[in-house]
Structure 1
Amino acid sequence: MPTVSSAEKALLGRYSPRGNANFRTQFMGEDRHKVARTGEASGPAPIAYLVEQAPHTELRAHFHVADQFQIFVTGSGRIGAHKAGVGFGHFVGPYSGYGPIVGGDEGVGYLTLRNAWDGGAQFLPEEVQQMRAKAGKRRELMFNAPPAQALPAGESTFASLLQEQADGLAAWTCSLGPDATVTGPDPAVGGGQFWIVMDGKLADGEQGLLQRLSLAFVAPDEPAYTPKAGPQGLQLLVLQFPRFVAAAAA
């Protein structure tokens, strides 16, 4: 069954790794600031956390060794040369440099989502030789999620934000009216799916009504997810990773 994380519960663990004005909240998986880990990931496993950058702070250009989505959920800023407000989505492949991420006047918050362990940012230009030695074709894609759409009770819509690619990479937006349900795409096509509550509430059978930024992760070997909206409706963002390749997460 899907792994589900309540934003309300996760945010109780919000902290500043360096004791400054930048904050981190772990939603799923191990926090690299608290867990020492080496070796390759053996299969898709969810890593999800919220980063809150203070106004005008900068996270320097860098790369990671795992596939990664980032979804901007509060404030505004920029990533590289691109403006990033609420609903801006960014995908980057392993050993693909990107950034910097810069907070605007109100700061910026974004969910970082991976389907495999990653040991942290490899900063550029210091690690450029490592990046060049391991990198294949650089992969970076962007999209914007639309505002919440109000629908009548029981109705739903599903729309593509990032057209499904040959290796399964894709993104969709899903709107549900009050108490509506929908069946998602087949998880076996890709390397795992994150479902993010962007507006409204998700009616979870075990945890009740889950608020904005709550998450569900569906592994490739699980059945298609069938979320249900709460009494005020629900807006979801659905992110599907490329099929998992263990060597990319080394």
Structure 2
Amino acid sequence: MSSSPAPSPTDCLANIRVVLSHTSHPGNIGSTARAMKNMGLTRLYLVNPKEFPSEVATSLASSADDVLDNAIVVDSIEKALEGTSIQVAMTARRRELTLPLQTPRKLVPELIAEAQSGTEIALVFGTEMSGLTMDEVRQCNRMVTIPTNPDYSSLNLSQAVQVLTYELRATLLDDVSYLEEKRHYASHEYIELFFKHLEETLITIGFLRPHAPKRLMPRLRRLFLRTHLEQEEVDILRGICRAAVEFERKPLPPGKTDA
């Protein structure tokens, strides 16, 4: 009986949608789709885009065509937010509202916790020139801003999407053990057998004098134990020991001496 695949830390991203309101240039829609797919998000909502579908959008999506093909086009922000419990307004200025303005890094842990519990979340972005309207912002219950250089704060729409979606994915994958190949560390007994093998080898090749060992073996133990050896690495080291002993015992060719 086949077992179901283990859940991925990024599965909760399926509960997060990106909403673009009144996008004027189709290239920004395509670039947004590319940014989303890079970070594992696939649900795109478009509120009254000026031009969509578009060959320009498809070209700039750069193989994120599936995100564009499944994009949902609606005629109001209310429809784009249907079914969501958290709506995050992306804004470049503080506005006259009581909601606190947060950075992506500060807000993202809350968004992830909510998404993991099944909450539907919308990340809402406005037009390229003026951003979200006050009415659109009022329909959101979170506000986020990207802390750009105050002397030059201009961000492309897709860049803003990329920053926020990157923070989501990076926070989810902070546990690097998910990214790394599973390591099989050698057991205590396995390493002790290696140290015994190593000591015998060093004696055989004349590197270690058994009656005057000084501190060679303790130093070698400390050296190897610092590396947290994997089982395969111990096998390689023992293979080197065997090869060294075999080389030491190999008879010399006729006519050759070891002098």
- Short-chain TM bin: under 0.3
Going by fraction, where is strand more abundant, 1 or 2?
1
Which has the greater radius of gyration?
2
TM-score, normalization: structure 1? 0.22
TM-score, normalization: structure 2? 0.22
Going by fraction, where is helix more abundant, 1 or 2?
2
